[in-house]
Amino acid sequence: MASSWIKALIKVDGADVEEVAGALAYDHNLAVEVADGAEITLWLDSATFSPEAVHEIVNSLRAQFPEALFHLPVIEKKPHEDWLKKWKESFTPLPIGESLVIVPSWWRGPIPENRKIITLDPGMAFGTGHHPATAICMESLERFSTGLVLDVGCGSGILAITAALSGAERVIGVDNDPEATIVAKENVEINSLETKVEIRDGTIDCVDEPYVDIIVANLFLNALTVLAPAFYAKLKSSGTLIASGLRLEQGEPAQDAFERAGFTNVERIDKDEWTALVMRRPG
C-alpha cells in the first residue's frame, strides 16, 4: 500500500454507481468504495497524485458513460498530509507556444519576459496547461483566434483566456459543471478580462449567438463526435474548429466524424500521446 492516501469523492448522476465503481476498480485498477446515494470514494497514492490525474480519470469515465453527469471531484487530504502545498510547489511558470506563459496565482518568483501572462488558479477545474491536449489547444489559439471564439467545456477558463489574449474580439466559455464555471469566472477576473470573456453554465445549446468564428473544444472522443453537427451549425462559413482531448489513435475516428458533419481537415497536431484536429467549415 502507499505510505499515504488522497481521498477523492466523485458524484455521478445518470448511471449505475456500482457499474461506474466497477469500471474504476477493474479497468483502472483503483481502490474504490461506494457510499449511500451516488457517491464513489476513490483512494489515490499521494506520491503520484495531481488534480490533472484525477480529471483524466473522470474524463475516461465520461467516455465510458456518455449519458452520465460526473461532478467535479471533491478532494480530501489525510491529517498532516499537505498534498496541495506539494502540488503548488511543482506548478511553476510554464511558457506555452510563441507568446504565452501560465503563471500560478500564488507565484512570487521570476516570470519569463516578453510573454503574455495568464494568471491561473485552477482549483479542481481541469486545465493548467501542463496536459499536452491543453497545450496544443493553446498553441492553436495563438494562431487562429479572431472575432468571436467559443470555448466548449471551458474548465478552468485557460483556453478562453488564451483566446482573449491571442486576437479574439470576444470569447464565450461554457461548461455544464457549475463548479467549473465558478473557477473559470474567477480566473477571468484575475486576468482582468471581464469585458472580453463571458463564462456561462451549460453547453453549446446555451449559446444564442447565431454564429461564431472559432470553436475550441478540449473534451474527449465521444463528446466531440456527438457534438460535431452542433459545432458545424454554430460556426460561420470558413470558421475554424480546434478539437482535442484525443489520444493519438482517436485522431482518425474523430476526423471521420467531423468530415461526415461537413468539415474539411486543415491540420493534425500531435504532442506526446495526444492529438488535436484543426477543421474548417467550408464557405
Q: Is residue 101 part of a domain?
A: no
Q: Is residue 274 part of a domain?
A: yes
Do 70 and 156 lie in a common domain?
A: no
Pick from 18-22, 157-161, 204-208: least confident: 18-22
Instruction: For the chain, give the mean pLDDT.
Output: 88
Do 175 and 42 lie in a common domain?
A: no
The answer to whether the beta carbons of residues 145 and 166 sit under 8 Å apart is: yes
pLDDT tens, residue by residue, 5-16: 788 889 899 888
Q: pTM of the predicted model, to two decimals?
A: 0.77
The answer to whether the beta carbons of residues 73 and 152 sit under 8 Å apart is: no
Q: How many domains, the chain?
A: 2
Amino acid sitting at position 263: F
> What CATH number is attached to the domain comprising 250?
3.40.50.150
Q: How far is CA 192 from CA 117, 185, 189, in A?
A: 11, 11, 5
pLDDT tens, residue by residue, 248-262: 988 999 999 999 999
Q: Is residue 77 part of a domain?
A: yes
Per DSSP bridges, beta strands 197-201 and 170-175 are parallel
Do 154 and 263 lie in a common domain?
A: yes
Q: Is residue 104 part of a domain?
A: no
Q: Is residue 95 part of a domain?
A: no
Do 148 and 16 lie in a common domain?
A: no
Amino acid sitting at position 124: M
Confidence of residue 29 (pLDDT cuts 50, 70, 90): low
Q: Is residue 62 part of a domain?
A: yes
Do 271 and 155 lie in a common domain?
A: yes
Q: From CA 180, how far away is CA 160, in angstroms rounded? A: 13
> What CATH number is attached to the domain comprising 17?
3.30.70.270
Q: What is the CA radius of gyration of the chain?
A: 19
Q: What is the pLDDT of residue 171?
A: 98
Q: What is the pLDDT of residue 129?
A: 82
In the structure, how many helices (H) and strands (E) does the chain have? 8, 15
Do 271 and 163 lie in a common domain?
A: yes
pLDDT tens, residue by residue, 98-155: 999 999 999 999 999 999 999 998 775 567 788 888 999 999 999 999 999 999 999 8
Do 228 and 164 lie in a common domain?
A: yes
Q: What is the pLDDT of residue 193?
A: 98
Domain with 35, as residue range(s), is: 5-85
